[in-house]
Structure 1
Amino acid sequence: MSLRQEKPTVLVVDDEREHADSIVESLGRLPVRAMAVYTGEDALEIIDSQCIDVIITDLKLGTQTNGLVVLDRALQRDPNTKVILVTAYATIDTCKQAMRRGAYDYLVKPIQIDQLRALVAQAAQEASRLARVCQKDERPQFVFEGVIGASPAMERVIEIARRVAPTSISVLIEGPSGSGKEILARAIHNNSLRRQRPFQPVNCAGLTETLLESELFGHVKGAFTGAIADRKGLFELANGGTLFLDEIGDMPLAMQAKLLRVLEDGVVVPVGSTRPVMVDVRLISATNHDFQKLISENKFREDLYFRIKGVNIVLPALRERPEDIPLLVEHFVRQAAEEIGSPVKGITQAAMGILTSYHWPGNIRQLRHTIRTMVVLCDRPMLDIQDIPPEISPRPQLAAGPAQTTAELAGVSLEELERQAIAQTLAKTGGNREKAAKILGIGERTLYRKIKEYKL
């Protein structure tokens, strides 16, 4: 880990050496440490090895590593880096693309030195307030503060989360129960400018309007039976930070109207009080419901939906991204073993194959609980098939009748049938590849190749 310098670091990237050096010289009056590189490739090396607070980069750098590539790498390494693009070819599309990708601002050549200094000073001041710590070594691929995945669907989720985190825009996370909505919400908060302030979660499901109103807005002493003292609500407790409304689709309609008013006015009034309280809160909401259906059934206000929807992120069910299961399993094994001091170091390929082929109706929550249970009960270095709970591990099936077989096989690819057959045979033989190959009627080399092909 590398702490940032006392003075914010500014990197100037321009293939015109004289222009780059003149910018560095013009920043000499500011309380920053400025340096210049003259190729996009050199810029990427600096970004990967040092903590950079502000980057000023020309859009066109004479190679394929242009300013947008520098922008993307900088934000990938640290979403809070301020990147200012410089261009002589300003078009609306170019500017929109840069800002969409997370640029702090842009300047059009010829640069006005006073404008540049003011912009860099503002960006550097924001960066120094964060007092961030950045990672010199490569971060694990597609890991975003506990959000783990290598599938295209999760790549997209993480990309959107990285883009939206440094902003204050509202976020709506949709996904089935147990898919990791709160984990993603915390990750967004922890990568935002509000991360030094509180993250306050509340589950809206199962709470009456009265209880939820008190929970969110607070109450004064005597407001209702049992209100024996003043109590701040979550909006006040989260002031300056993030409020996470889980299962917002279950919020009572009357409460939805009150929430909408707070979001529009930025003011809460505790139950039983007439004194308004100003609040500054970023809202992240989550649901496992279909909002369009709720709105059509008059169970959710359309105006509130558009208010909370700023950016929409859809988390897929675990069964829709089986390629992520091995990554999650390894993470949960490591996590559980460290927490309880278990001798478990990993998991066999045969056991991993069974876990990967399971449909996980409870999603990540069920997988995490299953792995933790397996680790707790295992006293060996490697988890194996016998450690998998019986409701998950496949068991030998009785021969099915023609009608049942047809129904079960309809729409299933030959590759999937082969994968299931290999996984179940490995389970039946306790992971013995020689026995499994004989049962399947194939050679051991063929079986080994298939195991690698299907990641069993």
Structure 2
Amino acid sequence: MTSANIWIVDDDADHRDSLCDLISAAGHTATGLPGGIAARDAIATDVPDLILSDLRMPGLDGMGLLEAVRAAGIDVPVVLLTGHGDVGQAVRAIQQGAQDFLEKPYDADHLLTVVDRTLAAGRLHAENKRLRQRLKDKEAQLVGDTKVMAAIRLQLSEIAALPVDVILLGETGTGKDLAARSLHALSGRAGPISTINCAALPDSGFGADLFGRVDGSGQLHQGRVGMAEGGTLFLDQIDEMPLDLQPLLLRLLQSRQIEPLGAQHPLEVDLRIVASASEDLRGLIAKGTFRQDLYYRLAGVEISLPPLRQIAPDIPVLYAHFLTEAAARHGVPVPRVDFADRKALQNHHWPGNAHELRQTAWRKVLGLAGALTETNAPQGNLKDRVARFEAMEIERVLEQCRGNTARAAAQLGIPRRTLSAKINRQGIKS
């Protein structure tokens, strides 16, 4: 059995000491705390493997402690100790995140069984969480075989661990969010990545959502900036942030402090800031819609992500990736990419970049209307359209006949000499 760090939270000193002795005798490290407030304050700097807490306590009871732990985003199992009349409340606590409850008086062996079971479930949960994060980190990779994408991946890996903020520039759908997650995954930072959509910030009431608040009992409720403690704060679409809110972000960048509503003092935060923008920030500065000092605070490193039209050879690679992703999600075979699909991939402009390509791949997997070949509206005059269709048809038949021009000519119903002339004239690879 692995030794665990277990807190016993109870205002009854005799019961707390007795329970500490029982837990210690079972091979664990037991720490007694005299109430919910003491436990709430202690967990800010030390997180145990398990909390055994009495339900009824003055100041902050077991339910309040549970709510404080969950509000702080701390993932530690809580088992409540209840009197007979508190069973209904204990059941409600389980619905709100408690792992179990024990009704007093309880059998010592039964308590240790509950402790062992809860610790085992906690270890399994932690391992699953690590595996999910590892899978997510593996997925947080920019796909592409071109030199441009290889250079971007190299740049991300080189700056990931450096203490610099980053701006990711590029059109919508070029993978800025994926690049941000890749930076975080490669950074080695222990904290999470927290995303704020700057275009969706409300005109009012955003302070508590971003910076947190302190309630009447002195309990801190973290905002989205505080949730990134030890990790990465991703400011998506920062070019859409209202001008009157930009000074708040500037203060955060300058001081690395937040002031939760109702707090008496600012709080230090350890985070790395990554921002994304679809518009040219220098152009917005010239227009007076983006602060110059904010730009220079953010721009430790700038990385530009190219649109699909500039990395055309990567389009089939990305399309295959999205097909595989969609097929796995829906439990169906990966569909075959036929000749018409490949031509459409090459000819389409992809104004929506990877977003549009991904949706097209998912429609292909699901067999929905709006397939890839339908994304290309005919262009040019009738002669150009007929020539393009003729070239596509010749390529399709050649592929079907594995480059055998005699068989392809027979299937098309034209002389082999005529087919060869068309192949040469239109530059078709046979």
Q: Under TM normalisation by the shorter chain, which class is it?
A: 0.5 to 0.7
Match 1:388 to one of 349, 371, 379: 371
Q: Secondary structure at the match of 2:167?
A: strand
Match 1:332 to one of 313, 322, 333: 322
Q: Distance in 2 between matches of 1:423 and 1:268?
A: 63
Q: Distance in 2 between matches of 1:438 and 1:190?
A: 58
Q: Specify the code of the residue in structure 1 equivalent to 2:197.
A: N
Tell me what 1:217 maps to: 211
Q: Specify the code of the residue in structure 2 equivalent to 1:189.
A: H
Deviation sequence 1:107-142 (CA, Å, 0-9, x none): xxxxxxxxxxxxxxxxxxxxxxxxx99xxxxxxxxx
**Cα drift, residue 273 of structure 1:** 3.1
Kindly report structure 1 stretches of 4+ aligned residues shifted beyond 4 Å: 394-398, 420-433, 435-441, 444-447, 449-453
Contact 1:176–1:317 (CA under 8 A) maintained in structure 2:
yes
**Is 1:193 the equivalent of 2:188?**
yes
Q: Map of 1:204-283 to 2, 5 A cutoff?
A: 204-221=198-215, 231-283=221-273
Contact 1:182–1:246 (CA under 8 A) maintained in structure 2:
yes
**Cα drift, residue 360 of structure 1:** 0.7
Q: Secondary structure at the match of 1:443?
A: helix
Q: Distance in 1 between matches of 2:429 and 2:158?
A: 35
Deviation sequence 1:395-419 (CA, Å, 0-9, x none): 587627xxxx8xx9xxxxxxxx99x
Q: Specify the code of the residue in structure 2 equivalent to 1:300.
A: F
**Cα drift, residue 197 of structure 1:** 1.9
Contact 1:395–1:428 (CA under 8 A) maintained in structure 2:
no
**Cα drift, residue 216 of structure 1:** 2.1
Q: How many residues align?
A: 283
**Cα drift, residue 264 of structure 1:** 1.1
**Cα drift, residue 442 of structure 1:** 3.9
Contact 1:174–1:313 (CA under 8 A) maintained in structure 2:
yes
**Cα drift, residue 320 of structure 1:** 1.6
Q: Distance in 1 between matches of 2:379 and 2:291?
A: 50
Unaligned 5+ runs, structure 1: 1-131, 134-142, 223-228, 379-385, 409-416
Q: Distance in 1 between matches of 2:185 and 2:176?
A: 14
Tell me what 1:152 maps to: 147
**Is 1:295 the equivalent of 2:320?**
no
Deviation sequence 1:262-319 (CA, Å, 0-9, x none): 1111110013433311100000000101111110111111111011111100011111
**Cα drift, residue 252 of structure 1:** 1.6
Tell me what 2:110 maps to: none
Tell me what 1:347 maps to: 337
C-alpha spacing 1:297/1:344, structure 2 compared with 1 (3 Å): same
Q: Secondary structure at the match of 2:247?
A: helix
**Cα drift, residue 387 of structure 1:** 7.8
Q: Map of 1:46-125 to 2, 5 A cutoff?
A: none
**Cα drift, residue 233 of structure 1:** 1.2
Q: Distance in 1 between matches of 2:304 and 2:264?
A: 39
Match 2:173 to one of 171, 178, 182: 178
**Cα drift, residue 390 of structure 1:** 5.7
Q: Specify the code of the residue in structure 2 equivalent to 1:337.
A: A
Contact 1:354–1:427 (CA under 8 A) maintained in structure 2:
no
Tell me what 1:167 maps to: 162
Q: Secondary structure at the match of 1:366?
A: helix
Q: Secondary structure at the match of 1:337?
A: helix
Q: Secondary structure at the match of 1:284?
A: strand
Choose 1 or 2 for highest CA Rg: 2
Q: Distance in 2 between matches of 1:159 and 1:441?
A: 50
Q: Distance in 2 between matches of 1:423 and 1:271?
A: 67
Contact 2:361–2:372 (CA under 8 A) maintained in structure 1:
no
What is the TM-score with the length of structure 2 in the denominator? 0.57
Unaligned 5+ runs, structure 2: 1-129, 132-137, 402-407
Q: Distance in 2 between matches of 1:304 and 1:336?
A: 39
Deviation sequence 1:378-434 (CA, Å, 0-9, x none): 8xxxxxxx983464145587627xxxx8xx9xxxxxxxx99x667654699898673
Q: Specify the code of the residue in structure 1 equivalent to 2:229.
A: N
Contact 2:340–2:373 (CA under 8 A) maintained in structure 1:
no
**Is 1:399 the equivalent of 2:382?**
yes
Q: Specify the code of the residue in structure 1 equivalent to 2:305.
A: L
C-alpha spacing 1:280/1:341, structure 2 compared with 1 (3 Å): same
Contact 2:250–2:294 (CA under 8 A) maintained in structure 1:
yes
**Cα drift, residue 199 of structure 1:** 0.8
Q: Distance in 2 between matches of 1:249 and 1:444?
A: 54
Tell me what 2:65 maps to: none
Q: Distance in 1 between matches of 2:394 and 2:302?
A: 42
C-alpha spacing 1:217/1:387, structure 2 compared with 1 (3 Å): closer
Q: Distance in 2 between matches of 1:441 and 1:387?
A: 35
C-alpha spacing 1:266/1:432, structure 2 compared with 1 (3 Å): same
Deviation sequence 1:6-54 (CA, Å, 0-9, x none): xxxxxxxxxxxxxxxxxxxxxxxxxxxxxxxxxxxxxxxxxxxxxxxxx
Q: Distance in 1 between matches of 2:210 and 2:412?
A: 58
Q: Specify the code of the residue in structure 2 equivalent to 1:167.
A: L
Higher share in helix = 2
C-alpha spacing 1:152/1:190, structure 2 compared with 1 (3 Å): same
Q: Distance in 2 between matches of 1:421 and 1:160?
A: 42
Instruction: Calculate percent identity across the aligned residue pairs.
Output: 32
Q: Distance in 2 between matches of 1:387 and 1:234?
A: 38
Contact 2:211–2:223 (CA under 8 A) maintained in structure 1:
yes
Tell me what 1:366 maps to: 356
Contact 2:344–2:372 (CA under 8 A) maintained in structure 1:
no
Contact 2:165–2:300 (CA under 8 A) maintained in structure 1:
yes
Q: Distance in 1 between matches of 2:398 and 2:163?
A: 52
C-alpha spacing 1:390/1:150, structure 2 compared with 1 (3 Å): closer
Q: Specify the code of the residue in structure 1 equivalent to 2:226.
A: E
Q: Secondary structure at the match of 2:162?
A: coil
